[in-house]
Amino acid sequence: METPRWLQDKLTEVGGRNPHGQPNFRVIWGGDRLAWHGGEMTERDASGNVVRTVVTCRLERAYPEFVDRWLFECWLPPEAYGTLDTWERDTVEWIRGQRIETLGPFPRQGDYDLCLVLQTPLQGKCARQGGCTCGRCGAFIPLTEAAAMGILKAAMATRDLPRSLRTLARAEAEQRRRTAEEDKILAEQEERRPVFREPHVTVQ
């Protein structure tokens, strides 16, 4: 979905542009936000059956738990992600003898980071992990003028945050994303687990 032009223009006016001419703040539809993910991945057919597992790095949805939400992101410079050496140390893995960048190449031009998800407040476990996995909270909020004004206020507050706090916020968001993915995998495994029942015996 396309972000209203007037809203993006206002965000650019509030937050300015980065050294590459891109806005420091933006609103994007969750299903359109892609990011690099690398590792051992399972490919399934249309019926959900496992076809094969592959070791690769490819663009996938950055926030799979927020595909149907509006997202507010802020741009972070390359130094917010460390150095090239620390990036490779923390994100490169060897899987089946293949070198894989689990988060893709080092963001030499910086990258956008999640600041706000436009949805109703989360509850319980979902609130702690930063994403709704129960399907009962975190309801969709349309991008109305009132919601847009809330995003603009968040942008003004975020603009004045120290860079160290932004980096910490990114690390926390990444941890919440990983936790949500792990919970989803465990839930799928639990659903596929066969149910064993005691044999029914009739005594005459």
Domain-wise residue ranges, the chain: 5-187
Coarse DSSP helix, strand, coil percentages of the chain, rounded to the nearest 5 percent: 40, 25, 35
Pairwise CA distance, residues 167 & 44, whole Å: 35
Pairwise CA distance, residues 76 & 111, whole Å: 6
**Do 63 and 112 form a contact (C-beta atoms < 8 A)?**
no
**Beta-bridge mates of residue 29:** 70
Per-residue pLDDT of the chain (204 residues; tens, 9 = 90+): 889 898 899 889 888 899 999 999 999 999 999 999 999 988 888 888 888 989 999 999 999 988 999 999 989 899 888 899 999 999 999 998 999 999 999 999 999 988 888 888 878 787 777 666 676 777 888 888 888 888 888 777 766 655 555 555 555 556 655 666 666 666 666 666 554 444 444 444
DSSP type of residue 66: G
What pLDDT does residue 150 have? 83
What pLDDT does residue 26 have? 92
Angle between helix 145-159 and 5-15 (nearest 10): 20
What pLDDT does residue 159 have? 64
What pLDDT does residue 139 have? 84
Which helix H or strand E contains 6, and what residues bound it?
Answer: helix 5-15
What pLDDT does residue 166 have? 52
Tokens 């015996």 belong to 201
pTM over 0.85: no
DSSP type of residue 52: E
Q: In what order do the strands lie in the sheet with 25-29?
A: 25-29, 70-76, 111-118
Instruction: Please write down the HEC assignment for all residues of 71-127.
Output: EEEEEECHHHHCCHHHHHHHHEEEECCEEEECCCCCCCCCEEEEEEEEECCCCHHHH
What pLDDT does residue 135 have? 65
Pairwise CA distance, residues 187 & 192, whole Å: 9
What pLDDT does residue 124 have? 79
**Do 17 and 24 form a contact (C-beta atoms < 8 A)?**
yes
Phi/psi class of residue 94: alpha, beta or left (left: φ > 0; alpha: ψ in -120 to 50)?
Answer: beta
Tokens 């991945």 belong to 41
